[in-house]
Amino acid sequence: MSLSFQDRHVVVTGGTGALGTAVVTALLEAGATCHVPYIAEAEASRFPQRDHARVVLVGGGDLADEAAVDRLFGSVPKLWASIHLAGGFAFGPIVDTTAEALRHQIDMNFVTCFLCCRAATQSFMRQGGGGRIVNVAARPALEGRLGANMTAYAASKAAVATLTMALAEEVAAKDILVNAIAPSILDTPTNRRDMPKADHASWPKVEEVARTILWLASPDNKVTRGAIVPVYGKA
């Protein structure tokens, strides 16, 4: 099935990362205009789609800050979908996890997602016509025992999963469909470097995961909501 985003505006947080680049590339091929926030100039300078006519790079994007999020979404002419890939990972047993480290995981993974979901929902409700939201949870959010030795990360991603299900129920009547994906591990250069002895062939590829995200965010998705979709590959 060919998904069309022709003349549709889509926000992609974390769009300059490995998965984000795959998602933005797929969206551009489908006709979308992509609004991609970034913090560091280095992110924007190495982003392969930075010069594309339908890419709008938005600097100064601390997505844990309400004002910055409101500015980002206020700059989008008519929002169709908001895809929230921004986040971060931290490994470590609970005895070594400080309150500051916990709050950092919550800010990066949950607060950013919550604020972007709120701003996207506000945009959809102002303009009418519905919309789509796609978040990123994680396998430990669905299978909590896998979160051992990464408890702060697992808990913050579990919050994303619960937010997704609760918000999906809250806004379904307005044709705003909210879903999330839950990766096991993604085949990225960083993950390969960090785990050189792993079976990389079994890891889901970012291009494959991007296709799942595009379906959830597309106008062709008319009924799926509140889903936390596993994208585990063979991992």
106 close to 55: Cβ distance less than 8 angstroms: no
Using alpha carbons only, give the angle 60, 27, 116 rounded to the nearest 5 degrees: 40
4 domain residue, yes or no: no
- Whether 97 is covered by a domain: the verdict is yes
Q: Shortest CA distance to 183 belongs to which of 203, 162, 155, 158?
A: 203
What is d(CA 11, CA 122) in angstroms, rounded to the nearest whole number?
Answer: 14
Is 3 within the bounds of a domain? no
State the total domains in the chain.
Answer: 1
Q: What is the pLDDT of residues 112-158, one digit of tens each?
A: 999 999 999 999 999 999 999 999 999 999 999 999 999 999 999 99
Average pLDDT over every residue of 160-179: 98
**Interstrand relation of 79-84 and 228-231 (parallel, antiparallel or unpaired):** unpaired
Structural domain of 221 = 9-231
Assess if residue 120 is contained within a domain: yes
- Asked if residue 113 lies in contact with residue 160, where contact means CB atoms within 8 angstroms, the answer is yes
Identify the CATH number of the domain in which residue 180 sits: 3.40.50.720
Domain membership flag for residue 105:
yes
Measured from the Cβ of residue 36, the count of other Cβ atoms closer than 10 Å reads 26
Residue 85 belongs to some domain of the structure:
yes
Residue 144: CB atoms within 10 A of its CB come to: 12
Task: Record the tokens describing residue 187, joined without a space.
Answer: 């085949």
Token pair of 169 as six digits = 């129920």
Lowest mean pLDDT among 89-93, 193-197, 207-211: 193-197
Say if 65 falls within a structural domain: yes
Examine residue 2 and state whether it is found in any structural domain, yes or no: no
The number of CA neighbours under 13 Å toward the Cβ of 21 is 13
Tokens of 122: 């506000």
- Tell whether pTM > 0.75: yes
State the CB neighbour count (10 A cutoff) for residue 120. 27
- Which of 12-21, 32-41, 184-193, 223-232 comes out lowest in average pLDDT? 184-193
